[in-house]
Structures are given as C-alpha cells and as structure tokens.
Amino acid sequence: HKGTAFKFKDYAPAIFRRLREVFHIDTADYLVALCNTQADGHNALRIMGTPGKSGSLFFFSNDMRFIVKTLPKREALLLREILPQYFQHVKQNPGTYLPRFYGLHRWKPEYGRNVRFVVMNNVFATNLAIHRRFDLKGSTLGRNASASDKAKGYRCILKDNDLMDSGFRLKLGQERKKAFLDQIRSDCHLLMSLKIMDYSLLVGVHMREHGNHTKSGPEDHAIPTMHRPPSGIDHLDGPEDMEIGNPGVYNPHGVEGISDTDENSYVGERYFVGIIDILMLYTRRKKLERIWKTTMEGDGASSQPPAKYAIRFCKFLEGITE
C-alpha cells in the first residue's frame, strides 16, 4: 500500500468469524465492501457528515450494508467482555434487534494514536427514502429534537416527546406486536443482566404516500446516497412486492405496517428498527448523573439503573405499538 506504516489488530477473530456466519455474512463480500477501492479511485468507505455526540466517527460501506464506528477504549473493552454472552444470545435469538457486530479492530499509524473501531449492520440499509427517524429511550427529560434539528426536515432524528406529540404509532397488528415486544424484552433482559443502560431504539419510517423522495430543507432532494444499496434491494411499488416481514425474525428490508383491526389492510408505512448504543455501563458517573438530574428535574431522566431502564424502555415501546 502507499502511505505511512501502521499496525493493525484484529480482536477475537474466531468469535467474530462465527458471528458473521450466524448473521449469514459472506466473508469475501464483507472484505470487498469494506476494503476495495472503487473504479474511480475513491475509497470504499464514505464518512457520515457529522460525528455523534460521543465524538465517534461513522463510515458507511459503499453498498451501505455496513457501518464502521470508531470507539473509545472503554467501549471496545466492554464489547470484548460481553462477547460470550452476546454470542449465545444472538445464536438463540435470530430475530434480535441488538446491533449485529461483525468485527472489532484497532489501527495505529506509525506516529499516531490507536484508533479502535467496530463494524456492524446499518439499520437503514435500504434504497427506500426514510421520511421519519426516531431515537427512543422511553424517557421524557430533554427528549425533544432541537429547533435546528427539526429544520433539517426528513433528516431530523426525532425523540420520545416528539413522537408522543405527533401521535405516531408502530402499526404491526396484534400477533406481530407480540412477536416484536417479546424479542425486545429478551434483548433488554440480556442488557440488564450485563448492567448496560442508555441504549435506544432507532426507528426509520418509509411513508409510501411520499414516494421515494425526501425534503430536507426548502428544496426537494432525491434519496440521500446513504439510502442507496446495490440494485435489486427494496424496489417496492406496493407491499405485495415484498414480504410484509415478521417482527420475530430479522428483517433487513423492514417490516410493513398493517392495521390493528384488519391484518390484510396495509397502512402505507414500512419500518426499519434496531437497538443501538449498547456499550454503556451503569457506572458511578451514571449513578451520580441520575441522582443530580432526578433531584433537579424529576424522575424522567434517561440515566437509570439497568433494571429500571429496561422496564421503562419496554413499557414505552408497548405503549407506542398497535
């Protein structure tokens, strides 16, 4: 390769190879998606416009199936610590909504710092436009998108209070609602047992009445490139063109919304759902944060003990699902 020398470390390669097998990820396709230089000379990875609140950087593979996220050392250590329990859980729960971790690595340039990063699934790996996005924790304190965020239009990530104000509901029908909530409870039970909290449910909504275009400002724009995986995926004219999706199994192409009174009646929405940000322990700092926020602003703070967090999270999702 051209460039300065560097060191590369592959953490727990045998376990992650087994995980990729469980997730039906072909190793050759995986490497091509992440490593190949494109025909025009550009790198296979595309960086997300702005880093997350944690300061982590996000990159998308060229086919948009994979996300590469940089991690602080403490989160990389936590992922390695929970790998045995995580591996058993995903084997026993093929429909899990937890992040699908495919690899954990470290890169160190000759005269630079260590950069740790994880490769995982992209919840929104679809060429369908995502017209609404929600990041849901089940808490109320400070859980509103800012005015500047809302000015982004369809690209805005709305939060718990925004969802409640809008009256939006996940319309799955009674049988599929039960399958969805059963899997969420199973996932939360694992996180609770690992003393993990502060995770979110990421929800993307494709609204068929709006077509495959979004409006992110004063002008209409075509689908953002992050919603364009290879051809052949998600070319929908109507729900009959694709399975409606069972929330009890993994649905990378989303789950079709149906009426809670007539399960043969489609509501014109498709949901893309996954739990994110699961590498946060209930540490002493989080305990102090909870005490401070509860004292000053009430009991709606996001930071809660793992058991209480999981119960509140599941109860909130049950309340917004029909």
100, 22 in Cβ contact below 8 A?
no
CA–CA separation, 101 and 308 (whole Å): 26
CA–CA separation, 75 and 235 (whole Å): 37
In this predicted structure, what is the pLDDT of residue 90? Answer: 97
| Burial class of residue 315 in the structure, from the number of CB atoms within 10 Å of its CB (0-12 exposed, 13-18 middle, 19+ buried) | exposed
In this predicted structure, what is the pLDDT of residue 215? Answer: 47
Nearest to 124 by CA among 221, 229, 53: 229
In this predicted structure, what is the pLDDT of residue 49? Answer: 64
Ramachandran quadrant class, 277 (left: phi over 0; alpha: psi -120 to 50; beta: rest): left
Residue type, 191: L
In this predicted structure, what is the pLDDT of residue 227? Answer: 40
In this predicted structure, what is the pLDDT of residue 21? Answer: 96
Q: What is the pLDDT along the chain (322 residues), one digit of tens a residue?
A: 566 788 999 999 999 999 999 999 998 888 888 887 766 667 778 887 665 566 789 999 988 899 999 999 999 999 999 999 999 999 999 999 999 999 999 999 888 899 999 999 999 999 899 999 999 999 988 899 999 989 988 889 999 999 999 999 999 998 889 999 999 999 999 999 999 999 999 999 999 888 876 544 433 333 343 444 433 334 444 443 446 666 667 888 899 998 877 767 888 999 999 999 999 887 555 555 554 455 545 555 566 889 999 999 999 999 999 9
139, 310 in Cβ contact below 8 A?
no
In this predicted structure, what is the pLDDT of residue 239? Answer: 42
Q: How many angstroms separate the most distant Cα atoms in the chain?
A: 63
CA–CA separation, 143 and 163 (whole Å): 10
